[in-house]
Structure 1
Amino acid sequence: MSLDERSKRILDELVSNPSITSLAIEKKYNLTRRQLGYSFNKINEWLMVENLPVIERTRKGHFIIDQSVFTKLCCEEESTPLKLTALTESQRVDLIIMMLLSSKEELSLNHFTSELDVSKNTVLSDLKQVQKQLDEYRLLIRYSRASGYLIEGKEFQIRKLLITITYQLLQVHGGQKRIRQLANIDTEEINEFNQRIENVESKLNLKFTDEKLDTMPYILILILRRIQQGNEVDSFSIEYEELSDTKEYLATEEIFHDARQIPVVERLFITLHLLTTNVYWSEYLTNDDAIPELIPAIDDMLRLFEKSACIYLQDRQQLMNKLFQHIKPAYYRIKYQLTETMDVQDSLNKEFKELHHLVKRSTGPLQDLIGMAIPESETIYITMLIGGWMTRQGDSIEEKIKAVVVCPQGVSVSRLMFNELRELFPGFIFLDSLSVREFLNYNLDYDIVFSPTSLETDKKMFISSAFLAEDEKYRLRKQVMLELHGYIPKDMNVNHLIDIIRNHAVIENEKSLAEDLQTYIDRDEESSVKQSVKKRDMNINDLIPQRHITVRNSVASWEEALRVSAQPLIDKGKIEAEYVEAMIHRTVEDPYIVIGPNIAIPHAAPEEGVNEVGMSLLRLKEGVDFTGDYQINLIIVIAAVDKQQHIHALMQLMKLAGSEEDRNRIISSNSVKEIYKIIKSYSMD
């Protein structure tokens, strides 16, 4: 992350003159209060990225700066002028691209050498780096004697590149001057567009951010120039109705009110640009007519995060407002693949890496709304917003116990174990459910491990069955609490807890606090067990009716066993044929689907061909060989549409797998009716 010119000037001023006030800076640099506030926030974001303490501002407008900030910046001050005198390779590449995208004349090698003040060999080397950057946009650089150097490819991709390069150049020292010089943009043009943008703000009651105000004139001028040169965007998948009712479309119409030659598709593209980069200044969160489901999706995402991180977010409505201001433009960036302009991959410190992991796990509601995966760069920004909010309220996941679940018995069993343990220990952060192989290469920080088998680890480890009966849950909870905290939950004394609280806080209603604490302690002992046995919709006999049971003496191969077992699900339209191929591919040399002696539960991902939740069973008298290590007699194909619907039935199946007597009864039986009767007996739980 780099500072823009104005923010850098203000930071230099603060370091050289720390006693200066906000009002004095506003007067000295001719800034509004809003502009100073924006730059001040940018400075603190940059300091956080550099692992430096943020600068605080008092109510009287004075600044409090940590000594480490002076030490860091003063040490670098001497080398700063040298960095500004010579362009880096990356800056030269950006400038060459800007020339190619904005020049009104044919460009030769001499143009580049003259403008950049480097040799021809250096320019030729830079042009190779230019092509590498163009590859990301599926564009080509081409040279001909008649036309000179040109960029070829789809205009939509060229526009994306133009916006990115303009934004990057404006962040470096002297960037505005460079762009005006390279693209031959005069000051009058800039002033004219600034005036139009100010008129739009006033007319439509919009407030663009200062960063937007700085970059918008250049981008609009350069886009308009390409349109006038005949480089128009082809029709692309944006519905007119989706954008035509937005304020941004009205803003586009207002800015180009006297430019009738701009086609509708170009107006839509410019509208999209405003939507993807604009953030509104607003005090209150208001619903958006263009995306009415966005606020509920953000709310659902936050609730999932709070559950995963065991955090209660304070001033939630204000945080919702901040997230909305970022996620609304992100919605359009993601939907139309315009996220390349955001480069914050290295902006997360160690603590935020675990936080980022939990945020990514919570973005399902946004993903469902947009209809595609959320890019890493977008989730990093969301992480930084939520992480900053948590820091402000004095909360941190570093202080909480972080756990992983390692289960060598397949994805479904692993999820079941993960969900049960999370209910049993509601105060722990459960990061992931892992296979043994994934665990060996796991790089997030954790404190404890739960697993059915012993593992080599220097962290605290607790052996836990894949399926826990109620008494086992109770014993495991007592064991873990005693090991980690030195107490057993039932031995906690409310009066002792109140004494501790009284030492650190003022208690307004001691009786009510005592009642709430007692309720929570009782919940720790009992509620976690009750939650896991609550009534579920799907039992094992619902998912494996008699028509889903096949009886064979033997099959020739594991692949044939999967096809035969899955056929009833195909016949009923619950899965497609490709689901079987996906299972075969996933289970090759993978013993994790074996959940007990002679029994396996092959499955694949829901998106690989599942239409409806279901299970089917194949019984083989003679076991089929699997990976050379197992003889499998019972193959239960699982088709899941989500992470929940089949879980209760899977728990019942795990109980069945744990009974040697009933497994053998099914294996030796020749009657579908008898097999179903045994299955049904496990559906009463």
Structure 2
Amino acid sequence: MFLTQRGLRLLVKLLYAADHVPMDELKNELGVSARTIYYELKRVNDWLAFHQFDCVRHVRGSGFYIISEQQNRIKEMLPQLGDSEYGYTPLERRALDLLFILSQPAPVFVEDLIDLTDVSRNTVLEDIRLLKSELAKQGLTLDFKLSAGYFVAGVETAIRHEIHQWLNRIERLAEVNKLPIEIGQAYFPLSVACLKELLHTCETELHIEFADHTLESFSMELCFYFNRIQRGKYVNVTTEEMRTLQETDEFTAALRFMTRASKEAGISIPDEEAYFLSTLFLSAKRQKQAEAKQSQEHCLIRSIARNMIFEFERYACIVFQDRDKLEANLVVHLKPAYYRMKYHVDAVNELADSVKQAHPEVYEITKKVVHHLEKAACAPASENEIAFLAMHFGGWMKREGLQPVSRCSVLIVCAEGVGTSAIVKQQLIDLLGYVNVAGILTKREYGKLDSVAVDFVVATTPVEPKGKPVHVVHPIFSNHDKKTLLKYGEASNGHQEHITLAKVVAAVRKHATVYNEQALLSELKTILQAPHRQWKEEWKPVLNELLTEKTIFLHQTAQDWKEAIRKAAAPLLADGAIEARYVDAMIQSVEDNGPYIVITPGVAIPHSRPEAGVNRLGMSLATFKEGVRFSNKDTKPVKIVIVLAAIDSVTHLRALSQLTSLLGEPGAIDRLAEMTSTKEVVSLIQQFSTI
């Protein structure tokens, strides 16, 4: 009985789901139509029936599921699925072809690749053609000689980076034991288990803990690297890089690692390999970080974090209250990102597209501020790196003023690192409000527990329940994730709420006579119960919904910048969107922090915190014929003042992004400053107000 790769992914998704899985979620997960899902479900059901399991069930309005009584037995069968039951995708075939060619001591021919991937000769040749094109982009060539078979030529460091990339693309195969035996450990001088133990020793020496996902993939990568070393394929490191790396603790740990590995494998390892390994240690994602030393490198990265935060606040028109804590957390992420960029180790981020789709404004602002990191690393940031940073900023943007009251308790299990853990935690608090996060564990730490004393567990990777429900979620919560967690959070809250009210009534009985306990219980519930939080799509208005003819004043005059702010804010004040104290707060902010609100020559966007007097979201625009100076350093007087009254750190971002696009058009600022008709201004704004 045959299961395709897509069918196996579908089966695994249903087995590890915390609840019914709706059709839309399956379509998004697999990237196919509903018709294809039904086709794959039929094959999955045939496979289940063949092995005497019940078929996948469906509940209208909820989704698909596999009965819980059979889930564990089916999971036990997954690793034993034969190779004939798994059909590789084109991407997986190319990855397997490349890794096979790079790791085999004997010549590799077309016939070997046919046996490896179980496809026709023409399909293998097409895969090779595509692989040649992809490797050429990295400066590598895939050649063929009758005496040597297929081989990859190029700089060894670039070949190692390709091993890293292609292994990450097929990590799902390793998770369900679908790597072919030919890619197994037969040609590796050290096993995955042995290398993992050596990495554990390094974690202890460095006082760190690699992210679970990093540890697993790192161990497999090192198998391939040692295979290359055994066959005399060594990396080259420049003298300057050596000098820089020698000053790091990671280099010392890498030297010890190589000494132990050399002894275990019985092979000689050049010193350059320790330098290369230290770059991997430095660029690896970490779950726990050693206490930072005040080194030159640490000061540089802290400076990068500080500058990025300041500029992000400026572009987003927000002020982070807990800036020091944000800076400390950002430094933890920036250190490996800095080394990944510096040593050209590509970041693998499956969430990049989700981040860009779910938080486009945050992503675009992050893209603008990442130049501080790029300048220090002397390398451009990839979309994956920018998405990681956007996740950090996005996770902190809703922290302002949150004081959640503990109701239900939850444990977070995250394998992707400390930054992602913080984002998952913040999303939970934002979504449920009344939730006590009892702890954040790695998958390894969770696996050592016998039971958990919480209401439920939220995990970003499949884990076994330990007496409490487990909800497996995407690190950036999907709509289905949010609805599931809200539903469960409400159930948990209700239970604790009943206990709390009962205790209050019991205390009242001790000191007073209760004539109508039911009425007392009802009234106490009304008083104590917090407002019910329903999840809904975030409302983010477009630019022309905020800047209208009523909020645009042209060709004003002002004696100084303070008067300019007051005149620009007048429409919002008259409309009740802001209070007078908000105008004072904007002026005070400039006096305290300098003219940071001048975002580009000729344009200022004064703003302050929502609690300083904002009643509802608003924006107003005023132009000044003569212009005003916000400091003596201004080379160009400000002629356009746009007041922003934000209700939080997120809702205004779409309109602000559109405003930035408008102001970025060549000549737009001068043209806007000279316009004499509000209708003309509104017409221009309309062009940039797409939904």
Q: What TM-score do the two structures reach when normalised by structure 2?
A: 0.51
2:575 maps to which of 486, 491, 494: 486
Task: Tell me how far 1:161 sits from its aligned partner.
Answer: 0.2
Alignment of 1:324-363 (within 5 A): 324-339=331-346, 341-342=348-349, 344-348=351-355, 350=357, 352-363=359-370
Match of residue 273 from structure 1? 280
Look up the SS of the partner of 2:381 in the other structure.
Answer: coil
AA in 1 matched with 2:241? E
User: In the TM superposition, what is the alpha-carbon distance from 1:85 to its structure 2 partner?
Assistant: 2.5
Is residue 2:229 matched to residue 1:227? yes
CA 1:69–1:92: 2 relative to 1, 3 Å: farther
**Residue in structure 1 matching 2:633, options 527, 536, 553:** 536
Which residue matches 1:168? 169
Distance 1:180 1:326, change over 3 A: farther
1:459 & 1:184 partners in 2: Cα distance? 70
**Contact between 1:204 and 1:251, CA under 8 Å: does it hold in 2?**
yes
- The 1:173/1:221 distance shift into structure 2, 3 A limit, reads closer
Q: Which residue of structure 1 aligns with residue 198 of structure 2?
A: 196
Counterparts of 2:341 and 2:238, CA distance in 1: 15
Instruction: Give per-residue Cα distances to partners, 1:530-564, cap 9 Å, x unaligned.
Output: 99343238799xxxxxxxxxxxxxxxxxxxxxxxx
Residues 479 and 104 from structure 1, CA distance in 2 versus in 1: closer, same or farther, beyond 3 angstroms?
A: same
2:158 counterpart residue number: 157
Q: What's 2:313 paired with?
A: 306
Partner amino acid, structure 1, of 2:109: S
Equivalent pairs counted in the alignment come to 423
For 1:166, give the aligned amino acid.
L
* Alignment check: 8 A CA contact 1:98 1:183 kept: no
Instruction: Output the CA distance in 1 between the equivalents of 2:340 and 2:215.
Output: 19
Contact 1:447 1:460 in 2 (8 A): no
Give runs of ≥4 in structure 1 deviating > 6 Å: 8-11, 67-70, 72-75, 80-84, 457-461, 488-494, 515-518, 528-531, 537-540, 593-596
Conserved in 2, the CA contact under 8 Å of 1:134 and 1:140? yes
CA distance in 2 between counterparts of 1:525 and 1:145 reads 72
Structure 1 residue 491, shift from structure 2 partner: 6.2
1:494-521 deviations in Å (ceiling 9; x for gaps): 9xxxxxxxxxxxxxxxxxx9x9769xxx
1:488, CA displacement in angstroms?
Answer: 8.4
CA contact (8 A) 1:208 1:279 kept: yes
CA contact (8 A) 2:255 2:274 kept: yes
CA contact (8 A) 2:363 2:390 kept: yes
Q: Is contact 1:106-1:147 (8 Å) kept?
A: yes
* Corresponding position of 1:71: 63
Assess if the C-alpha contact under 8 Å between 1:449 and 1:460 holds in 2. Answer: no
Rg (Cα) greater in structure: 1
- Structure of higher RCO (CA pairs closer than 8 Å, 6+ residues apart): 2
1:97 alignment partner AA: L
Query: Helix, strand or coil: the match of 1:536?
Result: coil
Corresponding residue number in structure 1 for 2:210:
208
Tell me the C-alpha RMSD between the 2 structures.
Answer: 5.3
In structure 2, the residue matched to 1:447 is 543
- CA apart distance, 1:113: 0.7
Deviation at 1:192, TM superposition (A): 1.9
Q: Gaps spanning 5+ residues in structure 1: where? A: 19-42, 51-66, 397-443, 451-456, 495-512, 519-523, 541-589, 597-653, 656-685
Following TM superposition, by how much is the alpha carbon of 1:392 offset from its aligned partner in structure 2, in angstroms?
5.3
The percent identity for this pair of structures is 21
The CA deviation at 1:140 is 1.3
SS of structure 2 residue aligned to 1:138: coil
Please state how far the C-alpha of 1:460 moved relative to its aligned partner: 8.6
| C-alpha displacement of 1:126 | 1.0
Q: Deviations over 1:578-607 (max 9, x none)?
A: xxxxxxxxxxxx9949979xxxxxxxxxxx
- Aligned AA (1:274): F
Structure 2 Cα separation of the partners of residues 289 and 341 of structure 1: 28
Amino acid at match of 1:339: D
Offset of 1:195 from its aligned partner? Answer: 2.0
| Residue 110 of structure 1: aligned partner | 111
Alpha-carbon distance in 2 for matches of 1:320, 1:493: 27
- Find the residue that maps to 2:151 and give its secondary structure: strand
Q: For residues 464 and 372 of structure 1, what CA distance do their matches in structure 2 show?
A: 44
The whole-number CA distance in structure 1 between the counterparts of 2:88 and 2:223 is 25
How far apart in 2 are the matches of 1:133 and 1:69?
Answer: 44
Contact 1:240/1:268 (<8 A) preserved: yes
Contact 2:207 2:290 in 1 (8 A): no
Are the aligned partners of 2:315 and 2:365 in contact in 1 as well (CA < 8 Å)? yes
TM-score (norm 1): 0.51
Summarize the alignment of residues 27-46 of structure 1 with structure 2, pairs less than 5 Å apart: none
Equivalent in the alignment of 2:136: 135
**Partners of 1:392 and 1:357 in 2: CA distance:** 20
Q: What's 1:295 paired with?
A: 302
1:12 to 7, 15, 19: 15
Query: 1:492/1:314 Cα in 2 relative to 1: closer, same or farther (>3 Å)?
Result: closer
1:312 partner SS: coil
User: Is 1:163–1:341's contact at 8 Å kept on the other side of the alignment?
Assistant: no
Write the distance in 1 (CA, Å) between the matches of 2:122 and 2:13. Answer: 39
CA contact (8 A) 2:367 2:386 kept: yes
Find the residue that maps to 2:304 and give its secondary structure.
Answer: helix
1:175 CA drift (Å): 6.2
Matched residue type, 1:265: E
Q: 2:104 & 2:383 partners in 1: Cα distance?
A: 34
Separation (CA, whole Å) in 1 of partners of 2:629 and 2:181: 65
Instruction: Summarize the alignment of residues 367-446 of structure 1 with structure 2, pairs less than 5 Å apart.
Output: 367-391=374-398, 446=542
CA displacement, residues 91-125 of structure 1 (integer Å, 9 cap, x when unaligned): 11111111111112211111111111111011111
Q: In structure 2, what is the Cα distance between the partners aligned to 1:127 and 1:459?
A: 61
| 1:331-388 alpha-carbon deviations (Å, 9 max, x no partner) | 0111223226445542225551111122222234323433444333211111112212
Partner of 1:254: 256
- CA shift, 1:70, in A, is 6.6
**5+ residue gaps, structure 2:** 33-58, 403-425, 427-539, 584-608, 615-619, 638-664, 675-691
Q: 1:228 to 1:285 in 2, by over 3 A?
A: closer
Describe the shift of the 1:488–1:392 C-alpha distance in structure 2 as closer, same or farther (beyond 3 A). closer
1:264 to 1:73, Cα distance in 2 relative to 1, 3 A: farther
Cα-to-partner distance string for 1:612-668 (whole Å, 9 max, x where unaligned)? xxxxxxxxxxxxxxxxxxxxxxxxxxxxxxxxxxxxxxxxxx99xxxxxxxxxxxxx
Q: Which one-letter code corresponds to 1:363 in the other structure?
A: V
Residue 31 of structure 1: aligned partner: none
- C-alpha distance in 1 between matches for 2:309 and 2:299: 17
SS at match of 1:307: helix
